[in-house]
Each structure stands twice: as structure tokens, then as C-alpha cells.
């Protein structure tokens, strides 16, 4: 099999595929970035693996003229916002996000019209059109700091994730945050009943829970009720999970997020037994970035991410305001 001739939907893994990817990366003067939820072979061939914010910042700071973003579309868009003069490619532009799809710019404009004095905080899992209507973006690693940067008396509209919204409300104790009713289909499906069952079956295990999960409230309940010691319950972004994995003393960790995360965790802490809370929590959009799609992208320069310059200018402001607050995100 010559990996170069493999059809787009096959998975041509192996040494020849890897060598061909790296040869094309060099020829294109590119850097390959992979989100923590990508297929293991994509994570392993990439120059950097990390969370959504860390990767965008790496894209902006790299010397390469082309960024190949192995993740979903809003992530590649954010990289383009931060580095408008670079070419940004995503190996399959159909790789969307059910959370980003849960609010449109028009819906946000209508919501703002009902609350004209409120500040708008949007999760980076949104389209550039929604970011252009936003005052300040946040990610799962800095959402609490972003909310804390807004004067306490000012009302806040938080979109689109209701579970992350509940998390920041809980953490900041603010009651003037209105939360949009959106969710990620993958994380909403990791529920409290499943978590409780896994916790009972694995006494002593530490918990890593992404704040987009339907079970985040249950995890905090277990800590609050003394069923688990609070230090065993960690609500973390994907980048912070990698950081925490490096220092954990637990022998078993239950992981509540998309299952691609396990590859990176097992790589950085091979002696720890990482177990998924829901082993079917796989994001079909993330998995559209196949080895063959990456090869095609590098060979043909597809799919290029373009953003209307007027939208991009406003959207960039909301991302840069977030970056000025500081939390860098977590990357390799």
C-alpha cells in the first residue's frame, strides 16, 4: 500500500504515512497542531498537541507560514483570527461542533437587545460571527477568571454552554449571570448516574471532569456531601487534565470527557490507570480528521479557513480581550 494513494476515508497509519506527512509538512513550511480529542495517530504525528486556546496561541506565535489545524472548525477559525496573515488549513471543513451550533449571531443579537446593558461572555466554542457579537471570550481553563474581570454589579450574558455556565456561577457565586441553554452532545451524554456507578466501582480513584459534562454537578455533589474527598474531584479543561496527570499521586483516575483525551493522559503518565466514565463519548466531528484527510490537506492545501475581514476584526477583539486576562491554556 502506498499511503499517498490511499482513499480519503481510509486510515493509512504506519511508518510510510508518518514519513510522508512529515515530508509534506516541511515542503509546505507548515506546523501541525492537534487537539487533545484527535485520533491517536494524528496526535502523535503533530508538532503540538493541546487544548483549544493553547493551540491557537501556538499558531499565532509560530514561524511557519501555514498552520494545519487538526481539530474542529471553530478552533481553526480562532487560529486564523489570531494570525490573519497566515494560511490556516483544516483537513476537513465539515468538522463542526454541536455546541458552537447551539447559538447563532442572530439569536445572540436578539438576546442582547433584551438585556442591553449586559456584558456578553462567549465560550470559544462559537463561530466567528458569534464572537463578533461578544465582549469577551473564555475557554474552559479561564472562564472563572474572565467572569471575575467584569465589575460585580454588571449583568452578564453567558453562552452557549449551560453546564460551563452553571460551573462559573457556582465558582464565582454571582447571581447576575444569565446562561444560554446550549450543550455539547458528547459531554451532556456523560451523566451523573454513570459517574456515580463508576465511582462506586473504583473506590479511591481521582476524578477529572470537563466542565461541559452533564455530570459536573454530580461530581461536586459527591465532594460536597463528603462521599469523595474534595481534593479527589477536579473540574478541568483538557489542557489542565494533562497538567494534573503529570503530578497526580492516584493510581486510578476516572476521566469524564471525550475519549480521545485518554491517549494524551496515558502518554504523559503511563503508570496511572486512566478509565473513561463513558467509553462511548466520542466526538464524531473530531474524528473527521482522519490520517487520509491530513495527507490530502498537506498535498492539496485544503480546506483553507477564510473569515470575512469585517467579522474577523470584531471577533478578534473579543478573543484578544480574553488573552490579555492571562491564562495561557495547556499544550505539549
Summarize as ranges the residues that interact with ligand SF4 (CB under 6 A): 72, 97-99, 125, 184, 186-187, 258, 283, 285-286
- State which of residues 51, 92, 183, 303 lies at the interface with ligand 13P (CB under 6 A): 51
Hey, what's the cell of 121? Answer: 461572555
Alpha helices in 11-114 (DSSP H): 15-27, 40-45, 52-61, 73-82, 105-114
**Contact of residue 67 among ligand 13P, ligand SF4, none (CB under 5-8 Å per partner type):** none
Q: Does 139 bind ligand 13P (CB under 6 A)?
A: yes
Q: Are 286 and 95 in contact (CB under 8 A)?
A: yes
Q: Which does 238 bind (CB under 5 to 8 A by kind): ligand 13P, ligand SF4, none?
A: ligand 13P
Of 74, 71, 73, which is closest to residue 238 (Cα–Cα)? 71
| Distance between CA atoms of residues 188 and 172, nearest Å | 22
Q: Binding to ligand 13P by residue 238, rule CB under 6 A?
A: yes
Distance of closest approach, residue 88 Cβ to ligand 13P, in angstroms: 17
| Count of Cβ atoms closer than 10 Å to residue 313 Cβ | 13
Contact 274/265 with Cβ under 8 angstroms?
A: yes
Q: Residue 293 binds which one of ligand 13P, ligand SF4, none, with CB within 5 to 8 A depending on kind?
A: none
Q: 126 is in the binding site of which of ligand 13P, ligand SF4, none (Cβ under 5 to 8 A by kind)?
A: none
Q: Choose among ligand SF4, ligand 13P, none what residue 135 binds, the Cβ cut-off being 5 to 8 Å by kind.
A: none
β-pairing, 252-256 vs 206-209, is parallel
**Partner in contact with 38, chosen from ligand 13P, ligand SF4, none, beta carbon below 5 to 8 Å by kind:** none
Query: 281 by DSSP, 3-state: which?
Result: coil
Q: Per rule CB under 6 A, is residue 184 in the interface with ligand 13P?
A: yes
Dihedral sign, Cα of residue 149, residue 154, residue 160, residue 164: positive
Query: Min. distance of Cβ 194 from ligand SF4 in angstroms?
Result: 17
Q: Which of 66, 67, 237, 248 binds ligand 13P (CB under 6 A)?
A: 237
125 interacts with ligand 13P by CB under 6 A: yes
For ligand SF4, the closer of residues 12 and 331 by Cβ is 331
Kindly compute the dihedral angle of the four CA atoms of residues 8, 14, 17, 19, in this order, to the nearest 10 degrees: 170
What residues line the site for ligand 13P (CB under 6 A)?
51-52, 125, 139-140, 184, 212, 237-238
Amino acid at each position: 500500500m502506498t499511503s499517498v494513494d490511499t482513499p480519503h476515508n481510509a486510515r493509512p497509519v504506519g511508518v510510510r504515512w508518518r514519513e510522508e506527512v512529515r515530508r509534506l509538512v516541511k515542503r509546505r513550511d507548515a506546523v501541525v497542531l492537534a487537539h487533545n480529542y484527535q485520533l491517536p495517530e494524528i496526535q502523535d504525528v503533530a508538532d503540538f498537541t493541546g487544548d483549544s486556546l493553547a493551540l491557537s496561541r501556538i499558531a499565532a506565535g509560530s514561524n511557519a507560514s501555514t498552520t494545519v489545524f487538526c481539530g474542529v472548525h471553530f478552533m481553526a477559525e480562532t487560529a486564523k483570527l489570531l494570525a490573519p496573515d497566515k494560511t490556516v488549513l483544516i483537513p476537513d471543513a465539515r468538522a463542526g461542533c454541536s455546541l458552537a451550533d447551539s447559538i447563532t449571531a442572530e439569536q445572540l443579537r436578539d438576546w442582547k437587545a433584551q438585556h442591553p446593558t449586559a456584558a456578553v461572555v462567549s465560550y470559544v466554542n462559537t463561530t466567528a460571527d458569534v464572537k463578533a457579537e461578544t465582549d469577551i471570550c473564555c475557554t474552559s481553563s479561564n472562564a472563572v477568571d474572565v467572569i471575575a474581570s467584569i465589575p460585580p454589579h454588571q449583568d452578564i450574558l453567558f453562552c452557549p454552554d449551560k453546564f460551563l455556565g452553571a460551573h462559573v456561577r457556582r465558582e464565582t457565586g454571582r447571581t447576575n449571570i444569565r446562561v444560554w441553554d446550549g450543550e455539547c452532545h458528547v459531554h451532556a451524554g456523560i451523566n451523573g448516574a454513570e459517574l456515580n456507578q463508576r465511582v462506586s466501582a473504583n473506590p479511591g480513584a481521582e476524578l477529572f471532569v470537563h466542565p461541559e459534562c452533564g455530570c459536573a454537578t454530580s461530581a461536586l455533589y459527591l465532594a460536597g456531601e463528603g462521599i469523595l474527598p474534595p481534593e479527589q474531584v477536579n473540574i478541568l479543561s483538557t489542557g489542565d487534565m494533562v497538567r494534573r496527570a503529570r503530578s497526580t499521586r492516584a493510581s486510578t483516575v476516572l476521566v469524564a470527557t471525550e475519549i480521545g483525551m485518554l491517549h494524551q493522559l496515558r502518554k504523559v503518565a503511563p503508570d496511572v490507570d486512566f478509565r473513561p466514565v463513558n467509553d462511548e463519548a466520542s466526538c464524531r466531528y473530531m474524528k473527521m480528521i482522519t490520517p487520509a484527510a491530513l495527507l490530502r490537506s498537506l498535498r492539496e492545501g485544503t480546506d483553507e479557513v477564510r473569515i470575512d475581514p469585517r467579522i474577523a476584526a470584531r471577533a478578534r477583539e473579543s478573543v484578544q480581550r480574553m488573552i490579555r486576562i492571562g491564562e495561557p491554556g495547556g499544550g505539549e
